[in-house]
Amino acid sequence: MRLTVIAIGKLKQGPERELAERYRARFDDIGRKLGFRGLDIHEISESRAREAAARMAEEAAAIATLVPDGSALVTLDERGKSVDSAAFAAQLGRWRDESVPGTIFVIGGADGLLPELRRKAKLCLSFGAATWPHQMVRVMLLEQIYRAATILAGHPYHRA
């Protein structure tokens, strides 16, 4: 199973990009041994439309072009479900074991995600009720994906 993160907005050079890349590389090292075929990151430029609804629609259309049929769609949204790391790892492991071809994680833009896109998700995740900068959400997501791999591998990184 291939994992993909689709994010509205681009990370500039700096500590957030370096940390995100560190977790992505760590996942690649351990993920291949677990049957994951890699972790891709696609950045989509923010829409320049004047109204929020139009921006969300344009961004959703761009996201849709990157979501292959049969993939498990996971959206990140403050209204989503808060799951612990072990449950997150278990879900990724189930999708992998069910031969789901890919899991697509979507981080929306400043206006959030189009409701229709959220409804298509197999899982809507939240990192709490607080609103987080998109750069931090990406780093937290990549850390949780890496942590999930270490849990599945029985690696001591995750100590619960």
Q: Let me know if residue 29 belongs to a domain.
A: yes
DSSP one-letter string for 114-132: -HHHHHH-SEEE-S-SS--
Specify the higher pLDDT residue, 94 or 134.
Answer: 94
| Residue 149: inside a domain | yes
DSSP secondary structure letter of residue 45: P
Over residues 133-139, mean pLDDT: 92
Whether the pLDDT of residue 160 is over 70: the answer is no
**Residue 117 belongs to domain with CATH number:** 3.40.1280.10
Structure tokens at 98: 């069910």
| pLDDT of amino acid 156 | 86
Length of the chain equals 160
pLDDT per residue as tens digits for the range 29-45: 899 999 999 999 999 99
In a domain? residue 145:
yes
Q: Is 76 annotated as a binding residue?
A: yes
Residue 106 pLDDT > 90: yes
User: Once rounded to an integer, what is the mean pLDDT over residues 98-122?
Assistant: 94
What's the domain count of the chain? 1
The answer to whether position 159 is within a domain reads no
- For residue 158, being part of any structural domain is answered with no
Question: Which of 12-16, 100-104, 105-109, 136-140 has the least mean pLDDT?
Answer: 12-16
State the average pLDDT over residues 113-123.
94
Q: What is the mean pLDDT of the chain?
A: 94
Kindly tell me if the per-residue pLDDT of 121 is higher than 80: yes
Query: How many whole angstroms separate alpha carbon 19 and alpha carbon 26?
Result: 11
Tell me: is residue 66 an annotated ligand-binding position: no
At 42 the three-state DSSP class reads strand
Range of the domain at 104: 2-153
Q: What pTM does this model have?
A: 0.94
Q: Is-contact 114 60, C-beta < 8 A?
A: yes
